[in-house]
Amino acid sequence: MQVTMSCKHPIALVLLGLWCLTARAFELLPEKVGDNVWALVGEIGGRTAENHGLNNTLGFIVCPKGVILISSGATPAGAHLIEQTIAGITSKPIRWIINIGAQDHHWLGNSYFVNKGAEIVALGRTVKAQKQYVAEHLERLKRFVGKEAEAVRPVYASRIVDADRADLTLGSVHIELIWPGNGHFPGDAVAWLPDQRLVFTGDFVFNDRMLGVHPFSQVVEWRKAFKRIAALEPRVLVPGHGFPGPLAKAQRDTGDYLDFLVEKVGKALDDWKDLGETTDTLGDAPQFRYLKFYDGWHRRNINRTYLQLEGAQ
């Protein structure tokens, strides 16, 4: 449609400009992945004020008594967007939130939903890690989302499960909350729906983009955790970043890369190669170049994996 407007109508021009800005506003992408189960795919790139820090993938389950939300976003504004997106699919209220991760965009939207009467559920390990990193995450959010971060009020789970595996029945839905081991962040968990063979993996799985190894990310443990998730033989994995898919996709985008880091960097250490030589030798891995952010993360991941493996010797 072509729009022609005279400069004699300045108010209309302003309204058109606002309409254009709204049309480009950030949206979560809902994707149905099971029976009454949806993924909410956020920004593949970094946190910004425009995306409210929602550069991750969340999800929800609709049951007769309400909605179960997997992760609550990074800010109250992001939580509101999550709520609006879900309202476009079901009129049922969000009754339960499952926090499966310690990173900001998995749980710092909790306060928004608690104020509306939702119950927050998490493993004790997850809550412990949330408390450990909350100050750092709040400072980072201020840098990326600006004033929006001032509204964040950390609220922890009211229902804390002090076990590494728990059977939950929320509404009529059976969910297993499982700690498969440490990974991208310590204390992260997965939400497994055995009846549908579907798992919300959080940051154990990165699809479509390269995973990031932080100084506290335990690469060897992460690799073991991924194998434990794969052993569930899920039909669909909803990752912490990127689009949902089958196990083969998660294996290609995350599992194979973790194998590469542990095996190739481990062999370099066995061969007495120093950090610089190892990074140079392994710094070109064309089989993973298709992953977004390869250029920014790959050599850094080799560096940090080397330091971790060396420190464990």
Q: Average the pLDDT over each of 3-12, 216-225, 269-278 and give the range with the smallest value.
A: 3-12
Our CA dihedral for 261, 262, 266, 268, rounded to 10 degrees, sits at: -10
- Residues 252, 174 share a domain: no
Q: How many CB atoms lie within 10 A of CB 11?
A: 7
The total number of structural domains that make up the chain = 2
Residue that wins the pLDDT comparison between 56 and 24: 56
3-state helix, strand, coil in the chain (%, to 5): 40, 25, 35
- Residues 210, 174 share a domain: no
- Residues 220, 262 share a domain: yes
Reported pTM: 0.91
Cβ-proximal residues to 23 (8 Å cutoff; 6+ apart), any chain: none
Tell me: the pLDDT tens digits for 302-313?
A: 999 999 999 988
Assigned domain for 193 exists:
no
pLDDT-derived band at 25, boundaries 50, 70, 90: confident
- Residues 167, 292 share a domain: no
Average pLDDT for 32-50: 95
Distance CA 40, CA 31 (A): 6
The answer, yes or no, to whether residue 16 has pLDDT greater than 60, is no
- The 10 Å CB-count burial string (b at 16+, else e) for 57-74 is bbbbbbbeebbbbbbbbb
- Residues 169, 56 share a domain: yes
Q: How far is CA 292 from CA 173, 177, 206, 288, in A?
A: 35, 30, 10, 9
Q: Average the pLDDT over each of 6-10, 47-51, 221-225, 252-256 and give the range with the smallest value.
A: 6-10
Ordered DSSP codes for 34-46? ETTEEEEE--SS-
Amino acid sitting at position 82 = I
- Residues 234, 95 share a domain: no
Lookup: tokens for 37: 């189960």
- Residues 302, 210 share a domain: yes
Assigned domain for 215 exists:
yes
Chain mean pLDDT for the chain? 92
Assigned domain for 192 exists:
no
Assigned domain for 54 exists:
yes
- Residues 235, 125 share a domain: no
pLDDT-derived band at 11, boundaries 50, 70, 90: very low
**pLDDT (0 to 100) of residue 7:** 38
Tell me: the pLDDT tens digits for 171-202?
A: 999 999 999 999 999 999 999 999 999 999 99
Give the domain range for residue 270: 205-313
- Residues 170, 49 share a domain: yes
